[in-house]
Amino acid sequence: MSALPGFTPISDRIFLRDGAPGPVAEPPSDSAADHPTTIIIFGWGDGLPKHVSKYADGYHKLYPKARVLMVISSIFAAIYDSLEQRTKSMIPIIDTVFPVAADDARERVLLHTMSNTGGIYAAAALNAFKQRHGEDKALPHFLSVSDSTPGGLEFSTEVGRWSRAMALGTAKWFPWPFAVTQGLWWAFLHTVNLIETAVGREPSGKYSCRVFLENSMATPRAPRLYMYSKADDLIGWEDVEAHAAVAQSRGYTTVLERFDNSPHVGHMRMHPERYWNAIERCWKASMALEAKS
């Protein structure tokens, strides 16, 4: 595992910044009392730690006393690994944030999910929480931020986008043209789809979208902020809005922040002020709702 300044690795794909394992201490009676205590960032597929960590830097400016956990994953693993494997890989997050108490009132968790790979591992973390603390428990959190996710689920119409995303992350490994790399991943995805159909295994993307719409898995206590773009060539804006509409119908408070010209997971880079303002605004709204409950 490569070293990442400011972070401590707690597994082969999870990094911890500015915090120690275990429940946080009782927050001080100042402005930080309404800030997140823990922020969990599920990075996009094949995102390098040094790039994903820029989001941790942004959160540190907003909430300097919050600890940040950052998850780095490959698209290949997100698609190929079983639910059991994905869940096992997220157990260190649960053991770090909720090692004993399944509903520690001192924790104010913010989930930040990026692209479909991030969503797949965020869903695995929800499942890991249940495995550790009981089927009647949903991972406690107060805001869920979805950046460039979720996309469509119909294999025949989405395989082109998925194979392109995988090619973008791996093209540097191969000497041949980009189109060849995408074609190889297209063939790989078709093979995985055939196997999953034959054995009756639920695809990871479908699983993640499904559980994030189930109150028993993803608590409706947490509002949903969707940040997406009409210029995203990997995730259709219509698919994001369709997911948000279903979430709204199932009791989730949803906020849509649509950009017009930013690429896939590029909204923060192109529109940093608007991006972080949206997160801060939604977090404050969530705390206001919690104060009234």
Counting residues of the chain whose pLDDT is more than 90, the rounded percentage is 65
Q: What is the pTM (predicted TM-score) of this model?
A: 0.89
User: Which pLDDT does position 4 carry in this prediction?
Assistant: 82
Q: 170: buried, middle or exposed (CB in 10 Å: 19+, 13-18, 0-12)?
A: middle
Using CA atoms, how far apart are residues 84 and 80, in angstroms rounded to an integer? Answer: 12
Go through the domains of the chain in sequence order and give each one's CATH number: 7-152+205-292 (3.40.50.1820), 154-202 (no CATH)
Using CA atoms, how far apart are residues 148 and 240, in angstroms rounded to an integer? Answer: 8
Tokens 């649960």 sit on residue: 94
HEC profile of the chain: CCCCCCEEECCCCEEEECCCCCCCCCCCCCHHHHCCCEEEEECCCCCCHHHHHHHHHHHHHHCCCCEEEEECCCHHHHHHCCHHHHHHHHHHHHHHHCCCCCCCCCCCEEEEEEHHHHHHHHHHHHHHHHHHHCCCCCCCCCEEEEECCCCCCCHHHHHHHHHHHHHHHHHHHCCCCHHHHHHHHHHHHHHHHHHHHHHCCCCHHHHHHHHCCCCCCCCCCCCEEEEEECCCCCCCHHHHHHHHHHHHHCCCCEEEEEECCCCCCCHHHHCHHHHHHHHHHHHHHHHHHHHHC
User: Which pLDDT does position 1 carry in this prediction?
Assistant: 44
Using CA atoms, how far apart are residues 55 and 63, in angstroms rounded to an integer? Answer: 12
User: Which pLDDT does position 27 carry in this prediction?
Assistant: 46
CB 40 within 8 A of CB 93: yes
User: Which pLDDT does position 51 carry in this prediction?
Assistant: 94
Report the DSSP pairing between strands 67-71 and 14-17: antiparallel
Using CA atoms, how far apart are residues 120 and 204, in angstroms rounded to an integer? Answer: 6
User: Which pLDDT does position 152 carry in this prediction?
Assistant: 79
- How many degrees, rounded to 5, is the angle at CA 240 between CA 236 and CA 246? 140
Long-range contacts of 196-202, Cβ-Cβ distance < 8 Å, separation of 24 or more? 201/82, 202/83
Q: 184: buried, middle or exposed (CB in 10 Å: 19+, 13-18, 0-12)?
A: middle
Taking 70 as the pLDDT cut, the residues of the chain under it are 1-3, 19-31, 101-105, 156
User: Which pLDDT does position 24 carry in this prediction?
Assistant: 56
CB 142 within 8 A of CB 153: no
